[in-house]
Structure 1
């Protein structure tokens, strides 16, 4: 990649809840950007930024020095890499793929090795955490795995998107770290929902709880952001989708099982979130899982 990252031609595949604000951030910072999304109408989210539309992932790859991918899961990223009109069909183009998605460690290893073999490009797994507003403001947390030299070449670009960028080790390490991140987040979504239910049952003003606990040991970004969102029932438009949190928690459960661990707190979170999503709430805001407790029967 060029030493001067501002001269890099970037590509981005995936213009969803996280991809669109990342695209806008990159354009704000002066990067030339070519984009593609499976649903073409998503281009409207970033069209005014000056990002250029491509007709396929292969076209994005040809037009770019580095390509970022922000899609939903293993099947989606495999498709944009190796499917019809995928990156591997481009012939020539980018030298590195930066996967911002939450992808399984196994798929990361398999696809990363295949990309290097078939295309000659490096793969950095760089899943992000923070949400749409931090993505728009360049304040994401980025956890990175892959070739260390490739990381250092891409680090300046990653720091345009993230206020906290950490190299975690070899390929797949970023995704393993993201699984642990999602365990913390997912379990806390359920904990915040239960705390809110208990707060209301106790007759305490739920809006005062994060004010009262601010700065104490119980304080956290989850309490200040997610709990307050739950308390206000501020779920429209969605900041995240329940189906995504559910998918991430299933990945956590699968990885915990692979490690041979029995972690009951995580299992409860997985079970409760699955229950909420299977009730038809896939496209609701992730924090709206608090509704699971609104009509819960109180123990007599």
Structure 2
């Protein structure tokens, strides 16, 4: 299959914080897109831009050559792909390609791959990193598991969404790579928050501090992109706290299966659970700074309450 805007029919399932922008890039590049989302209102802007709405994942698969999905939880992925009556594998045509960009369980990616193979359907697991800004600006990092040939076929679509696009290996390898990514972010976010709280208690100007440390050895994506949001009191989600907790749960489960001890990640998970307990599960991951500031009785600037 050669993917071409004038010929290839694209399907898209999941039009949330990131999915809407990612789908929009394919639509703007000239692809015909069929779209489905659990809450239709979240897809209306895409429909107004030319996407065609259908009422189930199965219908998306029936009308598409390549389908992309990016939803919330592994159970959502399972339902979308494997539901006997309304799932995509019930409607996908032979030689279709199904690409899951949700951060999900490696074992589920392998299960879907194996079942799809029996039907002559190809799958990729292709989770992403870069948050809402990366989705809007087409700068996502896309880590892909599945057959190399399938990856090469779909790569022109990935190039409309991301900047760093790497084939990691067979089915499940994309999800395992995303687990590495989330482990790095989890401990890093604790460090970013603690450092900025320290600076606050020391009476430093936070923006001036960022100007010094952001470009040095301590620099990171989280510090450069989420640090300014923390300082501005902007805790709206680029990536939801509740979804990050889901991701950390997957890593901890996989690490137990592999006989690994990950105390740093376990601590980050515990701290984010406290953010959730404070009712901030729908906030962005940068809301961790509010929970940690409260532990030290530090009044966080530009916000009155969590």
Bucket of the pairwise TM-score, normalised by the shorter protein = over 0.9
- Mapping of residues 215-226 of structure 1, within 5 Å: 215-226=215-226
- The answer to whether the Cα contact below 8 Å between 1:63 and 1:93 also exists between their aligned partners in 2 is no
- Mapping of residues 152-191 of structure 1, within 5 Å: 152-191=152-191
- The answer to whether the Cα contact below 8 Å between 1:11 and 1:64 also exists between their aligned partners in 2 is yes
CA distance in 1, matches of 2:44, 2:95: 25
2:114 is matched with: 113
Provide closer, same or farther for how the CA distance between residues 3 and 91 of structure 1 changes in structure 2, counting only shifts above 3 A: closer
- The answer to whether the Cα contact below 8 Å between 2:95 and 2:122 also exists between their aligned partners in 1 is no
Give the 3-state SS of the residue equivalent to 1:46 in structure 2. helix
2:272 is matched with: 273
CA distance in 1, matches of 2:179, 2:54: 32
- The answer to whether the Cα contact below 8 Å between 1:97 and 1:123 also exists between their aligned partners in 2 is yes
- The answer to whether the Cα contact below 8 Å between 2:241 and 2:280 also exists between their aligned partners in 1 is yes
- Structure 2: state its 5+ residue gaps: 299-306
CA RMSD of aligned residues (A): 1.8
CA distance in 2, matches of 1:33, 1:246: 32
Give the 3-state SS of the residue equivalent to 1:164 in structure 2. strand
Range with bigger deviation, 40-49 or 138-147? 40-49
- Structure 1: state its 5+ residue gaps: none
Q: Deviations over 1:116-137 (max 9, x none)?
A: 22x3211101101111222122
Count of matched residue pairs: 297
Task: Give the alignment's TM-score, normalised by structure 1.
Answer: 0.93
Range with bigger deviation, 249-258 or 141-150? 249-258
Deviation at 1:298, TM superposition (A): 6.1
2:302 is matched with: none
2:86 matches 1:73: no
Give the 3-state SS of the residue equivalent to 2:124 in structure 1. strand
1:285 is matched with: 284
Task: Give the alignment's TM-score, normalised by structure 2.
Answer: 0.92
Q: Deviations over 1:227-275 (max 9, x none)?
A: 1211211123x22211011111111222222221222222211111112
CA distance in 2, matches of 1:98, 1:91: 12
